[in-house]
């Protein structure tokens, strides 16, 4: 069997793309999008008509509404392909605005429901800032399910679980990038591969923490740089994977062993993380990697949202 089919025995596979035409060959359960992926998709000839149609139908609407309608247009197409859920992201510029995030998420869900899509098939992606986590806490009480993104540390994960978030997306590849860049010439790729990869170690620790303390929040590893990182997290609840890496898995034969196990996590000796606001902010600040990658991610997604606005203005 190929690696992709074997991986599906241990883990739910999710497609990480706005290119919904590329999904069908891999039969993912769910799909995730973000501003960068949607920006990339609408610049392709195959998807430019979606942008043109949405702008044409809502030319007089506000920029925020046009962007939301564009996100939902892609979300609907994706949900015609995957049997599960699609993740749609709130504007990254609201990452430190709890009320603004809640309002935008409710609007997105209302728009999906107006299109006949049940809210259980949508995950609202929110940055894992303190303010974003508080927004998720409010939204989950209204049965609006949240996917907490830009997550790089155990304290973020613990706070998301205690807030009742449905799912988290810890970023494997971006953690790897930071440690590799920090080590410079001293980086040893072989010594930091597989289960020793710093991004893999981070997600593994979060998985064990959740299973040890009985948290229901799902763990979905994200942002992969290689199939080696993916296979080292076999057994994680979900893994969201780009089409390029899905293709590598689909066209490679080999054996996939489960790496993460609930029984092992439950028997481990793990200390509970403090998640009150002062403890959260200090722990996040004390983690240079998590602090830098969170800020960098918010900036990048915000910049791509601005580029998307430029495309919309040009199409008006």
Q: Cβ of 50: how many Cβ atoms within 10 Å? A: 17
Question: What is the predicted pLDDT for the residue at 24?
Answer: 84
| 3-state class (DSSP) for residue 148 | strand
300, HSE (Cβ side, Cα atoms, 13 Å):
12
Q: Check if 125 is active-site.
A: yes
Question: What is the predicted pLDDT for the residue at 184?
Answer: 98
Q: What are phi and psi of 122, to 5 degrees?
A: -125, 135
Question: What is the predicted pLDDT for the residue at 25?
Answer: 87
CA–CA dist 284, 295 (Å, integer): 11
Question: What is the predicted pLDDT for the residue at 59?
Answer: 92
CA–CA dist 239, 229 (Å, integer): 10
| 3-state class (DSSP) for residue 4 | helix
Phi-psi region of 184 (alpha: psi -120 to 50; beta: other; left: phi over 0): left
Q: Among 27, 76, 107, 125, which one carries the catalytic annotation?
A: 125
Q: Is the pTM of this model over 0.85?
A: yes
**Structural Rg of the chain based on CA atoms:** 19
DSSP string for residues in 216-262: --EEEEB--S-HHHHHTTTTSSEEEE-HHHHHHHHT-B--------H
145 contacts 120 by C-beta, under 8 angstroms: yes
Q: What is the residue extent of each domain of the chain?
A: 3-315
| Second CATH level (architecture) for the domain 3-315 | Alpha-Beta Barrel (3.20)
94, HSE (Cβ side, Cα atoms, 13 Å):
20
Q: Which two tokens stand for residue 15?
A: 């497609």
One pLDDT digit (tens) per residue for the chain, 316 residues: 899 999 999 999 999 998 888 888 899 999 998 888 999 999 999 999 999 999 999 999 999 999 999 999 999 999 999 999 999 999 999 999 999 999 999 999 999 999 999 999 999 999 999 999 999 999 999 999 999 999 999 999 999 999 999 999 999 999 999 999 999 999 999 999 999 999 999 999 999 999 999 999 999 999 999 999 999 999 999 999 999 999 999 999 999 999 999 999 999 999 999 999 999 999 999 999 999 999 999 999 999 999 999 999 999 8
Question: What is the predicted pLDDT for the residue at 22?
Answer: 84
């Amino acid at each position: 069997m190929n690696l992709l089919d074997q991986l599906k025995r241990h883990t739910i596979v999710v497609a990480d793309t706005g290119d919904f035409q590329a999904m069908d060959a891999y039969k993912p359960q769910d799909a995730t999008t973000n501003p960068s992926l949607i920006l990339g998709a609408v610049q392709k000839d195959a998807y430019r008509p979606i942008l043109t149609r949405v702008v044409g139908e809502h030319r007089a609407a506000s920029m925020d509404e046009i962007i939301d309608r564009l996100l939902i247009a892609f979300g609907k197409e994706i949900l015609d392909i995957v049997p599960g859920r699609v993740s749609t992201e709130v504007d990254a510029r609201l990452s430190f605005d709890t009320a603004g995030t809640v309002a935008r998420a409710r609007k997105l869900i209302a728009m999906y429901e107006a299109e006949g899509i049940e809210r259980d098939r949508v995950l609202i992606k929110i940055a894992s800032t303190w303010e974003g986590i508080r927004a998720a806490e409010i939204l989950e009480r209204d049965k609006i399910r949240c996917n907490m993104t830009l997550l790089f540390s155990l304290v973020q994960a613990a706070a998301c679980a205690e807030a009742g978030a449905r799912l988290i997306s810890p970023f494997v590849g971006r953690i790897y990038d930071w440690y590799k860049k920090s080590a410079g010439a001293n980086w040893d790729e072989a010594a930091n591969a597989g289960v020793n990869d710093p991004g893999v170690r981070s997600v593994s620790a979060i998985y064990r923490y959740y299973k040890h303390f009985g948290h229901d929040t799902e763990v979905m590893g994200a942002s992969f740089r290689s199939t080696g990182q993916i296979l080292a997290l076999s057994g994680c609840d979900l893994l969201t994977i780009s089409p390029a890496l899905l293709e590598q898995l689909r066209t490679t034969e080999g054996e996939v062993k489960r790496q993460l196990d609930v029984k092992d996590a439950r028997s481990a000796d793990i200390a509970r993380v403090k998640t009150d606001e002062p403890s959260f902010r200090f722990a996040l600040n004390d983690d240079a990697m998590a602090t830098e990658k969170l800020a960098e991610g918010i900036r990048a997604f915000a910049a791509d949202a601005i580029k998307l606005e430029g495309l919309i203005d040009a199409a008006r």
